[in-house]
Structure 1
Amino acid sequence: MTQKKAPNAGKTTADLIVRNLEAHGVDHIVGIPGAKIDRLFEALEDSPIRTIVARHEQNAVFMAGGIGRITGKAGVAIATSGPGVSNLTTGLATATSEGDAVLTIGGAVGRADLLKLTHQSMDTVSMLRPVTKYSAEIGDPAAASEVIGNALRAAESPRQGGAFVSIPMDVLNAEITKDYPLMGKRSFAKAGPAPEDEIKDAAAAIKKAKKPVVLLGMKASKPENAEAIRAFIKATNLPVTETYQAAGTLSKDLQSRFCGRIGLFHNQYGDYLLQEADLVIAIGYNPIEYDPGLWNTKPDRPIVNIDVVPAQLDNAFNPEIELIGSIVHTLQHLTQEVSGLSNGAALDKILELYRASQKLAFEKAKSTQQGMLHPLEVIKVMEDIVAQDMTICLDMGSFHIWHARFLDVFRARQMLISNGQQTMGVALPWGMSASILNPAQKVISVSGDGSFMMSSMDLETAVRLKSNLIHIIWVDQHFNMVRIQEEKKYGRDAAVAFGPIDFAAFARSFGAKGINVNSVESFKAALREGMETQGPVVIAVPVDYADNPGLMDPLPALAK
């Protein structure tokens, strides 16, 4: 008699992992194959999941992080053993510190060789544990669904972050003899509002305050949270400042209540707003975005913290009231309690000063160097041409401070910024992620000439994917953000200069369109050409950073 085959007969652990990812709704996987992980790539060949081959593992996890940030669902990256996995480290640290859901899967030598000094043996689980929410190894095929399921839950549960799963080669190749459940498809229990009595306590404190201020953090820019926040501000008329990663939370009709973004240097009108406040309502704020010791100079002042998880306590961030639960539902209840407040106008003078300073900065902005553009000339052109439904992905450098302070956006998660690890090289991979998720919509990514070269090898990937993006490079042949800080501290710079690159020719060598500009008008023309071009376009803009020291200068004291 022929023995009846098990449902998974002939299938391997790799196939089981892919089935779990399919069940979870994973649409895209980014990675680079190798001998210890190639069985998983082979299994993906028979899957509806789209496999995208990157040119560097760090960029692969950046792309997965971009998918996680935009969708809230874990992006997935795969790398082979040894240095393939170690190259995931920076991307995982960025995702975990900044709340982006990412699952990474790495190959490993066979179980018998894990403790040997053999080719590509490395304790990657221990190595990546400090930069992830979950780091584990699948030691047996029977554990595959469990480990993948738990990794996805960790990556997507509040606060979201990175997860890593290591798979020894012999486990990955092992034949499955049982029908194991698919744990990747489990959904999460939805959180409700914070307890009603605590919401009432918060409402009483807000009503009692004479100068309450709202501080928005990274979780505020989650689209559903942003809608609830907008309703709260409309009902209360409270003044608002936000961290860089909260960009786009407020809608354009609330612009009069906005006092700009704060971060890095304690010298913005939003800092003044917080300085004068007698109560701070922090929504979705994480201290990694902007050190509370910089903005909270009154440790005894009450703080109401609204978030999905309790605050990590700090000497300068010790909330008197915490509303922990669904930010949306909590705010809906709180809005009902405080609707019609009359204390929202007490700090309007600072809001007016902020708006006047922004207008004056744009009026004065003009490069003093022939063939170069002032940072605000670049941003003004972008504001005039870039539509509000486009996603803007920023790299790290002094250019990102100019964008964060001066570029208005009114859609949640429209402007993506790394301000936790302040990671260089993220803009191009994030831009590709945004284009993958919405191929019909043009994406803008921006980097400096230093940060661009940290991920530029994947411009080829963008060409291969026909990514509908425009990548703008601010050119000055320096690591400029380091330069201005060194000059501030030491009176001179050191180890920040590098040589020129013809970025238009560089882009064309990859098959992208490349454009060098040298004036405001040529930049406008290049942007319009980029908007009409299918596939990636690189625009190199020489920037006059003469006004950069002003990014760190203190503002004039407020008149009492």
Structure 2
Amino acid sequence: MKESNSSIDKNDEWKCGADLVVAQLEAQGVKHVFGIPGAKIDRVFDSLVDSKIDTVVVRHEANAAFMAAAVGRLTGKAGVALVTSGPGCSNLITGVATANSEGDPMVALGGAVKRADHLKQVHQTMDTVSMFKPVTKYSAEAISSSALAEVVSNGFRAAEFGRPGAAFISLPMDLINKPTRGKLLASYSPTLGSAPHSAILEVSKLLEKAKNTVLLLGLMASQPPNAEAIRRLLHKGDLPVTSTYQAAGVIDQASFHRFAGRVGLFNNQAGDRLLRNADLVITIGYSPVEYEPAQWSNGTAKLVHIDVTPAETDSLYQPEIELVGDIAATVDLLTEQVKQQIALSPAAIDILEERRLQRQLLDQKGRSLNQFAIHPLRLVRAMQDIVNSDVTLCVDMGSFHIWIARYLYSFRARQVLISNGQQTMGVALPWAIGAALVEPGRKVVSVSGDGGFMQSSMELETAVRLGVNLLHIIWVDQAYNMVAIQEEKKYHRTSGIEFGPIDFKAYADAFGAKGFAVTSADSLERTLRAAMDVQGPAVVAIPVDYSDNALLMSQLNMNEIF
């Protein structure tokens, strides 16, 4: 265990501003800082040596943001990325924008030239505060050394409160290098009460009158306290329910028979059919960035919005009632008003029964898809066997993301980390590293395509250095296949989607990880089990046959494949 920062005395004097910043990070409960040092921020890295915080050096700044975001999503407390000025900050932007869209609390600290040089064309000068404003909840620069703790504290409050997101703080070099005075601020978050009781009663009356009620769950529904409250509502009301990809794991096994699956991207799922037939849709923790209303709203159903923030309205999302407040408290009060199970319409019963049969067919026949390369449904079925309740799954972006989001189920809130707000490639491996540090006793599985993997594969070295217990699965086809299926649909040909092969087993071994390659259909499950048994970082490459990808854009029926 590192020594605690000891540069403060009774007069709140600090030998440098960096010591005050680090002490405020400790006061916020920060356990890890992810980043890359440089001349404009190295004083903060130096101060971290004398703190209780572990410094995790990464290989690219965007990945520092992804790792910090995974910490934020799994703990509810903002993860921290720390980078130098200029390109150190600009490299962060994709990761910060992704965290902000996905509702992941994180704070990015960026070095800056000294204040006197802000308007000069000097080395690595850049208006980073303006750059980050559009993709954060809070973007500010400390303008006096005594205010460093205040700026950092407010960044954490913005990142963590309400609908979580990203904050950026610029730290000029002169402020963090020179001695200063300043007080630490206590770390606390405001608490919300429930929505007004009168509005909850109005929603209960809508529920009583509706013939086709559907719950649509969004990313805030997957916060564990919210998920537990939603489960209580479903157990009592037995309501039909669907969710966005980010709400994976909210539905438990007791309510699985009422779950029409996840919706996102293409408007052709059982959940979409439930929503089209609905006369009342209750969204819980939903944001349009997850699945825009134009994709699912029928324009006639009454809408109820339950969230920590008011709705972002548009022509197809204008809630009749907005229940704004603590989600769990609000849902529990609504549950009290539900007197009996909600009767399902014949149409809803048919949709849910068809969905059940499709799941059963996949479970029974998934292993019978024996072609090599491997069919996506065979691979999803094999992954389902290894992703048990004790495993955290981090999913990258590609057409495999759709196959997994639709057909791999989970019964633990925030067991599955998945991107849909920005659909960012390369997130899975750095997310997995962050997740493994948060829960070191839990196995983490991450999955990407070969395109996405190479956007962050340098972090294999980080995983090996840290000794984290993760398995990364690569779906290999030597193409940006999700782009390909959309180009084929629009233009009947593809452009700019192919790239060359890589020996991923050798690549993983070169980093000191354990590499595996699936070389036949018969070896799939055996190789996955062997890779899962590795204690430490492992990588398995699996050739995938995406010839059925076009079916993702239609109403896919398992009988079309088997």
TM-score by length of 2: 0.95
* Aligned twin of 1:53: 57
* Aligned twin of 1:182: 184
Q: Do 2:371 and 2:521's aligned partners in 1 also have CA atoms closer than 8 Å?
A: no
* Alignment partners' CA distance in 1, 2:538 and 2:169: 36
Match of 2:152 among 144, 148, 155: 148
* Aligned twin of 1:171: 175
* Alignment partners' CA distance in 1, 2:363 and 2:549: 14
* Offset, 1:349: 1.2
Using a 3 Å threshold, how does the CA distance of structure 1 residues 369 and 478 change in structure 2: closer, same or farther? farther
Q: Do 2:297 and 2:316's aligned partners in 1 also have CA atoms closer than 8 Å?
A: yes
SS, match of residue 281 in structure 2: strand
* Alignment partners' CA distance in 2, 1:173 and 1:335: 55
* Alignment partners' CA distance in 2, 1:10 and 1:335: 52
Q: Do 1:218 and 1:284's aligned partners in 2 also have CA atoms closer than 8 Å?
A: yes
* Aligned twin of 2:405: 404
* Aligned twin of 2:6: none
* Aligned twin of 2:244: 243
* Alignment partners' CA distance in 1, 2:214 and 2:461: 46
Q: Which runs of 5+ in 2 are unaligned?
A: 1-8, 558-562
Aligned AA (1:82): G
Q: Within the alignment, does 1:320 sit opposite 2:324 as a pair?
A: no
* Aligned twin of 1:211: 212
* Aligned twin of 1:134: 138
TM-score by length of 1: 0.96
* Offset, 1:522: 1.9
* Alignment partners' CA distance in 1, 2:139 and 2:184: 20
* Offset, 1:493: 0.5
Identity %: 55
* Alignment partners' CA distance in 1, 2:21 and 2:90: 21
SS, match of residue 500 in structure 1: coil
Match of 1:44 among 43, 48, 54: 48
Q: Do 1:136 and 1:147's aligned partners in 2 also have CA atoms closer than 8 Å?
A: yes
Deviations for 1:252-305, whole angstroms, at most 9, x for unmatched residues? 12110100100000000100000111100110010000010110022x321111
Q: Within the alignment, does 1:421 sit opposite 2:425 as a pair?
A: no
* Aligned twin of 2:270: 269
- Higher mean alpha-carbon deviation, 329-338 vs 339-348, is at 339-348
* Offset, 1:531: 2.4
The residue correspondences of 1:114-513 to structure 2 (distance < 5 A) are: 114-176=118-180, 178=181, 180-183=182-185, 185-298=186-299, 300-344=300-344, 346=346, 347-361=348-362, 371-513=372-514
Q: Which runs of 5+ in 1 are unaligned?
A: none
Aligned AA (2:339): S
- Higher mean alpha-carbon deviation, 201-210 vs 366-375, is at 366-375
* Alignment partners' CA distance in 1, 2:451 and 2:370: 21
Deviations for 1:316-369, whole angstroms, at most 9, x for unmatched residues? 111001111011100111001013134245511110011222333555657988
Aligned AA (1:528): R
SS, match of residue 165 in structure 1: strand
The residue correspondences of 1:6-25 to structure 2 (distance < 5 A) are: 7-9=11-13, 11-25=15-29
The residue correspondences of 1:528-547 to structure 2 (distance < 5 A) are: 528-547=529-548
Using a 3 Å threshold, how does the CA distance of structure 1 residues 253 and 521 change in structure 2: closer, same or farther? farther
* Alignment partners' CA distance in 2, 1:384 and 1:95: 29
SS, match of residue 499 in structure 2: coil
Using a 3 Å threshold, how does the CA distance of structure 1 residues 85 and 498 change in structure 2: closer, same or farther? same
* Offset, 1:510: 0.3
Deviations for 1:503-527, whole angstroms, at most 9, x for unmatched residues? 0000000000000102344222222
Using a 3 Å threshold, how does the CA distance of structure 1 residues 181 and 344 change in structure 2: closer, same or farther? farther
Aligned length: 549
* Alignment partners' CA distance in 1, 2:55 and 2:361: 49
- Higher mean alpha-carbon deviation, 546-555 vs 19-28, is at 546-555
Aligned AA (1:190): T
Aligned AA (1:36): K
SS, match of residue 322 in structure 2: strand
Using a 3 Å threshold, how does the CA distance of structure 1 residues 172 and 238 change in structure 2: closer, same or farther? same
* Aligned twin of 1:91: 95
* Alignment partners' CA distance in 2, 1:427 and 1:461: 14
Q: Within the alignment, does 1:82 sit opposite 2:86 as a pair?
A: yes
- Higher mean alpha-carbon deviation, 529-538 vs 328-337, is at 529-538
SS, match of residue 465 in structure 2: helix
Q: Which runs of 4+ in 1 moved over 4 A?
A: 361-370
* Alignment partners' CA distance in 1, 2:358 and 2:366: 12
* Alignment partners' CA distance in 2, 1:214 and 1:109: 50
